[in-house]
Amino acid sequence: MLVANRGEIAVRVIRACRDLGMEAVAVYSVPDRYAPHARLADAAYPLRGAAPHESYLNIDALIDIARQAGAEALHPGYGFLAENPLLADACGAAGIAFVGPPAVVLRLCGDKAVARERIVAAGVPVLPGTSPIADVEAPAAARRVGFPLLIKAVGGGGGKGIHLVRTPEDLPGALRLARGEALTAFGDGRVYLERWVERARHVEIQILADHRAGVIHLGERECSVQRRHQKLIEESPSPALTPALRGRMGEAAVAVARALDYRNAGTVEFLVEGDSFYFLEVNARIQVEHPVTELVAGLDLVQWQFRLAGGEPLPFGQEAVRLSGHALQCRISAEDPHAQFLPSVGRIAAVVEPGGPGIRVDSGVQAGTEVSRHYDPLLCKVIAWGETREAAIARMRRALGETVIAGVQTTIPFHRWAVEEPSFAQGTYDTRLIEDRWERRPAPASPPEAVLLVAAAHAYLRDRTVRIPEYRRAAPRSPWREQDQ
């Protein structure tokens, strides 16, 4: 399996390969030459350059490495090329299985106009919006959609390439920014417009679909804690849904999958306003937040991606799905929450990860990791499970209290605040939690223990360079290859 990605998702896929007895091949850019995913794989191959278009967005280079390594399949992770049909086409031409929806489905999901038509025909409510538009078409299209509105990247995901526009005067500048971000992150500068709902909740449904038209959903994830349209905390199930609304949304997600002839794992995203919901888009890939579903459903979604890509049918139907307990996920990113979540770059000096009952950490960093401006700032994910929502929140409080990442600014202070915030604890929050609560609170001082750890770690690293062996075609794993740090 060639793992065509980096960071925590590459580590996650490599571990899924290991559990199934499959060999994993990693790729790494220049800044990632010492990254954990390159070290954990059975073999690791270099990509030229640092910028995404030189490395993780280079389809020809990825296919060439897959051939060199003898890879039988390729997993794209999330972001980068995960939803790009050109990669799926290239895999098919090279005789390599693509772990994700087929290219025809990726194209359909990416063609917002055709996809919306099919979804409306299936009886699923949608927000007013457009197909991909040119800049000259935007003013007239924006008047039809109505302000405020969102500009969204066609190839988007992870909140990139999305801009809120409140007035016609703001439209040209926002279009330029959105196109530039979309081109850099996804290699596709196309954008479309969509009506913005000021007070809403962002809820998504996880689906699995096989090649025999079998489709199931695995319940919902609440994703309303966001900044700049990027998620910071996810939980399952949503505290906002009644059983009746949950049932209607699950049925709608399955209807969307059938309307698009979907295959493999995916997510159907909705906006919820009171007892009404509206289709937003299909994320035709594994999601960053998939662990919360794994914990409540008891399924390994990455392994199911492998099986579905290999042609296995789903061995059970919707009636067999059993969801248990409650799960929360905090995305720990290299951003300064006290400075409007601006990115923070540098070398990670020390990492202390939490543990204990009900806690899982998906991480792509270690002491010595360089946090680069070229990539998404996500460092790791802390996930907590409990029999009830209250139990899961209590475990998350404990876990966040144990977590320290030194050397760069991180979102840990925000997450510690969020799990104590009354509207979050009561489950009454919406997508404006940060604007309404976080940005209006007094900024707390840094914890003394974190300050001391930062100073000690920096002093240690001044006199010692962290070195991890580079691998091209790696030999079988051996403890003698690992260098003590």
- We report the CATH number of the domain holding residue 172 as 3.30.1490.20
What's 81's domain CATH number? Answer: 3.40.50.20
pLDDT tens string 419-432: 999 999 999 999 99
Give the torsion through C-alpha atoms of 311, 312, 317, 318, to 10 deg.
-60
Co-location of 150 and 213 in the same domain: no
**35-49, 118-132, 253-267, 336-350: lowest mean pLDDT where?**
118-132
With a cut of 70, say whether residue 480 has pLDDT above it. no
Co-location of 188 and 253 in the same domain: no
The residue out of 168, 195, 222 marking a domain boundary is: 195
Co-location of 79 and 149 in the same domain: no
Catalytically active residues, by annotation: 285
Query: Is residue 109 in some structural domain?
Result: no
Question: According to the model, what pLDDT value does residue 482 have?
Answer: 42
pLDDT tens string 409-418: 999 999 999 9
Q: Where are the alpha helices (DSSP H) in 205-342?
A: 243-259, 290-297, 301-309
370: tokens are 């360089």
User: Who's near 117: CB < 8 A, 6+ residues apart?
Assistant: none
Provide the edge-to-edge strand list for the sheet that holds 215-227: 276-283, 264-273, 201-209, 215-227, 230-236, 326-333, 378-386, 359-363
Query: Is residue 473 in some structural domain?
Result: no
Provide the edge-to-edge strand list for the sheet that holds 2-3: 43-46, 25-28, 2-3, 73-75, 97-98
Q: Determine contact, residues 13/4, Cβ cutoff 8 Å.
A: no
Polymer length in residues for the chain: 485
With a cut of 80, say whether residue 465 has pLDDT above it. no
Q: Kindly report the average pLDDT of the chain as a whole number.
A: 91
The residue out of 440, 460, 477 marking a domain boundary is: 440
pLDDT tens string 268-327: 999 999 999 999 999 999 999 999 999 999 999 999 999 999 999 999 999 999 999 999
What residues does 73 pair with on adjacent strands? Answer: 97
Question: According to the model, what pLDDT value does residue 196 have?
Answer: 87
Question: According to the model, what pLDDT value does residue 213 have?
Answer: 93
pLDDT tens string 236-250: 999 999 999 999 999
Average pLDDT over residues 344-369: 97
pLDDT tens string 14-62: 999 999 999 999 999 999 999 999 999 999 999 999 999 999 999 999 9
Co-location of 171 and 147 in the same domain: yes
Query: Is residue 117 in some structural domain?
Result: no
Cβ neighbours, 10 Å, residue 428: 11
Co-location of 306 and 433 in the same domain: yes
> DSSP string of 44-59?
EEE-SSSSGGGTTT-H
406: tokens are 């030194």
> DSSP string of 121-151?
HTT--B-SB-SSB-GGGHHHHHHHH-SSEEE
Percent of the chain with pLDDT over 70: 91
pTM: 0.86
Question: How far apart are alpha carbons 374 and 343 in whole angstroms?
Answer: 11
How many domains does the chain divide into?
3
Question: According to the model, what pLDDT value does residue 449 have?
Answer: 55
Query: Is residue 455 in some structural domain?
Result: no
Co-location of 232 and 152 in the same domain: no
Co-location of 221 and 336 in the same domain: yes
Co-location of 370 and 253 in the same domain: yes
Q: What are phi and psi of 194, to 5 degrees?
A: -150, 140
Query: Is residue 63 in some structural domain?
Result: yes
Question: According to the model, what pLDDT value does residue 160 have?
Answer: 76
DSSP3 helix / strand / coil % (the chain, rounded to 5): 35, 25, 40
The residue out of 144, 163, 195 marking a domain boundary is: 195
pLDDT tens string 140-179: 999 999 999 999 988 766 677 889 999 999 999 999 999 9
Co-location of 360 and 403 in the same domain: yes
With a cut of 50, say whether residue 470 has pLDDT above it. no
Query: Is residue 120 in some structural domain?
Result: no
Query: Is residue 448 in some structural domain?
Result: no
Residue 460 gets which letter from DSSP?
A: H
**83-87, 95-99, 192-196: lowest mean pLDDT where?**
192-196
Average pLDDT over residues 73-81: 97
Co-location of 87 and 146 in the same domain: no
Query: Is residue 453 in some structural domain?
Result: no
Q: Which domain holds residue 49?
A: 2-99
Co-location of 92 and 166 in the same domain: no
Co-location of 208 and 353 in the same domain: yes
Question: According to the model, what pLDDT value does residue 430 have?
Answer: 95
Query: Which of 427, 250, 395 shows the shortest CA–CA distance to 323?
Result: 250
Read off the pLDDT band of 454 (50, 70, 90): low
